[in-house]
Amino acid sequence: MNILVTGGAGYIGSHTCKELFRAGFQPIVFDNLSRGHSRAVKWGPLIQGDLSDRELIERCLRENQVEAVLHFAAFAYVGESVSDPGLYYRNNTGGTLNLLQAMKTVGVRRLVFSSTCATYGTPVFLPITENHPQQPINPYGQSKLMSERMILDFGPAHGLQSMILRYFNAAGADPEGELVEDHEPETHLIPLAIRAALEGTALRIFGTDYDTPDGSCIRDYIHVSDLARAHVLALQRLLDGGASGIHNLGTGKGHSVLEVAAAVEKVTGKRLRQEISPRREGDPAVLIADSIRARSELGWTPTHDDLEEIIRTALRKPG
């Protein structure tokens, strides 16, 4: 069964292609390669294209007799979204609208969408459930929330069945070493901490004056292969005729930046030089998921939820 995977050359998309293939699906990657890598497309064909090209999306859906779409393609740098919001609304929100219109035209009615805890904004209670208010504090979160709303509107209007998956902090890489985390520039804590430990450079700690036990920010780090498996479960549920749904994906456990730094030292066996820096703008003190719904409705259980294990899988360098 052919599944179109937009953004399948990216970090989470490529890991999901591996899981799809393993579960007996045929991923067909649609990616403009602006931030993804063709070397990460290993489990099916790559169609190099942009979501602004609606005709091309329609042709891909039709010619490959696509049964469902997994939609990852998006820009995901919070800072960049603040300095260039138009880029995010055009690529993320506009791209999603084009995809939805193309799916409607061709009659593809199943969609799994890559959303984010950034749609919640600053938490008003913890852990964050799917019913938490959605008040994004940056254009990246807004662009994803607007996409969610469009997807939900296409349900009753056009019969679209959808699964919206809101990830917390995606981390780690394929435990079998076939894929790596490969962002340019890299902004995420775990790869930067590993790089600093191995190269002997300093890791900046953005704020140690938060209202948390050690003063640094707390995040819920979820292994990318666990995210990938959740997508396959969500897809299977849609294909089995299950109702549309919205699910948080996290472990429910929080780790502070200083705990991550200590775990990186332990896993690499190297001392990590730390440079205490001012807070990074827009960082909430604590983000922790309540993922009970994904566990009960999708039958999903994160299997790599040990921080040191996550870091161990992230050690391999981009090739």
Where in 278-297 is the site for ligand UFG (CB under 6 A)?
280, 283, 287
Peptide bond into 185 cis (omega under 30): yes
Burial zone of 65 (CB within 10 Å; 0-12 exposed, 13-18 middle, 19+ buried): exposed
Q: Based on C-alpha coordinates, what's the Rg of the chain?
A: 19
List binders of ligand UFG among 11-70 (CB under 6 A): none
Q: Can residue 183 be called a binding residue for ligand UFG (CB under 6 A)?
A: no
Q: Is 217 in the site for ligand UFG (CB under 6 A)?
A: yes
Looking at the Cβ atoms of 112 and 189, the one nearer to ligand UFG is: 189
Taking CB under 6 A as the criterion, the residue among 206, 239, 268, 295 binding ligand UFG is 206
Residue 257 as a binder of ligand UFG (CB under 6 A): the answer is yes
CA gap 292, 57 in Å, rounded: 35
Q: Which is nearer to ligand UFG, 58 or 220 (CB)?
A: 220
Question: Does 169 contact ligand UFG by CB under 6 A?
Answer: yes
Distance (Å, rounded) from C-alpha 262 to C-alpha 260?
Answer: 5
Active site residue 140: yes
Contact with ligand UFG (CB under 6 A) among 42, 54, 183, 188: 188
Question: For residues 205 and 310, which CB has a smaller minimum distance to ligand UFG in the complex?
Answer: 205
Question: What is the identity of the amino acid at 163?
Answer: M
In what helix (H) or strand (E) does residue 71 lie, and over which residues does it extend? strand 68-71
Q: Please provide the DSSP assignment of 270-311 as one string.
A: S--EEEEEPPPTT--SB--B--HHIIIII----S---HHHHH
Q: Is 111 in the site for ligand UFG (CB under 6 A)?
A: no
**Of 11, 88, 120, 140, catalytic:** 140
Of 108 and 117, the one with the shorter C-beta distance to ligand UFG is 117
Question: What gap in Å lies between CA 135 and CA 145, rounded to an integer?
Answer: 9
Crossing angle for the helix pair 139-158 and 95-106, nearest 10 degrees?
Answer: 20
- Write phi, then psi, for 5 (nearest 5 degrees): -120, 100
Helix (H) or strand (E) holding 165: strand 161-167
Q: Is 307 in the site for ligand UFG (CB under 6 A)?
A: no
Site string for ligand UFG, 135-154 (x = CB under 6 A): -----x--------------
* Residue of closest CB approach to ligand UFG: 217
Q: Which residues contact 96 (CB under 8 A, 6 or more apart)?
A: 51, 71, 113, 147, 150, 151
For residue 101, the minimal CB distance to ligand UFG (Å) is 26
Least Cβ distance, residue 250 to ligand UFG (angstroms): 11
Nearest CB to ligand UFG, comparing residues 46 and 171: 171
Residues designated catalytic: 140
Which residues are near ligand UFG by CB under 6 A?
A: 76, 78, 116-118, 140, 169, 187-189, 192, 203-206, 217, 219, 257, 280, 283, 287
